[in-house]
Structure 1
Amino acid sequence: MLYMSKFSIEQEIKLLPIHEYAFLKPEEVIFSEEVREICEGNSCGMYGTSWACPPAVGSLEECQKQCLEYEDTFIFTTATQIKNSYDVQGWLEARIQHEKLTDKVGEVFRKYTKSPLILSTEGCNVCKNCTYPNEPCHFPKKMYPATEGYGILVMRQAQLCNMRYNNGANTVTYFSMIFFN
């Protein structure tokens, strides 16, 4: 049954504009306290402001335990050309497109698996203003916690999966991960 699901999933995702992808076991995912410390240092400005980021996602130990409850993991990227390394608008547009693709990939996984855990980029941007911490998330099926917020060391994970973390000058690469049974 699992083989058929993976085969079916792979047949569908090959039709999507994914740059690179790999399947791996959750035990192969690289979790790092250092990544969480960067989050807690609020280098991206999202710490404590979103249901998709720490501390709302739980401790590193809780995130790792949640990921390890799944049987398989799927990691994928998009790589988008931008004008130059200072093209902030290009970065933002590439992220929006990556999140739209993550929605499509998530739909495929939801069709073949039950309750996949979908992680994506830099916190959630579904709502203009997040309800955290005053109200529950209004769109929990559209809110994808950040891979780094879960403590995943994406740069090393890419190497382990034979994927490129950097796809050249004037390119922005985004990663998403799906944990599934």
Structure 2
Amino acid sequence: MLKDKIITAINEVGFDEYQEITSAEIIFADAVFASCKANTCGNYGQNYSCPPLSGDMDENKARFLKYDHAIILNKIMFLGEYYEQMETSTLAVLALLDQLRDKLENEPVMIAGPGGCNLCAECSAKTGEDCRFPDERRYSLEGSGMDIVTMSRKLGMTYNGGDKKVGFFMMVLY
């Protein structure tokens, strides 16, 4: 069964928490989607998996809601004083996500995570070229308008881990 394969892969890779939901329980918020315009991460208009290049809110919702089920994953990472380990922690989380993708590469799933697509060293959106791997594009939860903070709290998952720790959220849809 696909769900069992996904959960086995999640446990093998080493995520700290996961919760199963239906895709109907995914919370989308216009405010989250609109916050991308502030471009705090630098990906707005620079990455095909981020707004506005990823489409409008309806297109982003449709991309996720075509699946019936989802599993929200969390990896709790130490960020240090003043978030000095944010980049290191983010890279570690993305490496875990790559391991999960490898384990599920032949399965009919979509995996989304924090930040924009990182498949290429530099997104071809920056040079105005077409996406090199449109079928493998990695979408951002927040960049797609998901209110992962509200969802994680509603599900009792760790968002703020205390002692300079924070949860990094990802999602497997199937």
TM-score (norm 1): 0.86
Q: Check if 1:160 corresponds to 2:150.
A: no
* Aligned partner letter, 2:121: K
Alpha carbons of 1:172 and 1:139: their partners in 2 closer, same or farther (altered >3 Å)?
A: farther
Q: Check if 1:15 corresponds to 2:8.
A: no
* Aligned partner letter, 1:33: D
Moved more, 72-81 or 136-145: 136-145
Q: Which residue of 2 aligns with 1:178?
A: 172
Q: How far does residue 16 in structure 1 lie from its aligned partner after superposition?
A: 1.8
Instruction: Say which of 130, 147, 150 aligns to 2:144.
Output: 150
Which runs of 5 or more structure 2 residues have no equivalent in the other structure?
Answer: none
Q: Is the 8 A contact 2:112 2:171 kept in 1?
A: yes
Q: Is the 8 A contact 1:91 1:172 kept in 2?
A: no
> How many percent of aligned residue pairs carry the same amino acid?
27
- How do 1:71-90 residues align onto structure 2 when only pairs under 5 Å count? 71-87=68-84, 90=85
TM-score (norm 2): 0.89
How many corresponding residue pairs? 173
Question: What do the CA deviations read for 1:107-129 (whole angstroms, capped 9, x no partner)?
Answer: 33333x32x22211121334332
Q: How far does residue 38 in structure 1 lie from its aligned partner after superposition?
A: 0.3
Which runs of 5 or more structure 1 residues have no equivalent in the other structure?
Answer: none
* Aligned partner letter, 1:131: S
Q: Which residue of 1 aligns with 2:31?
A: 34
- How do 1:87-166 residues align onto structure 2 when only pairs under 5 Å count? 87=84, 90-111=85-106, 113-114=107-108, 116-132=109-125, 134-140=128-134, 143-166=137-160
Alpha carbons of 1:117 and 1:135: their partners in 2 closer, same or farther (altered >3 Å)?
A: same
Moved more, 119-128 or 20-29: 119-128
* Aligned partner letter, 2:145: G
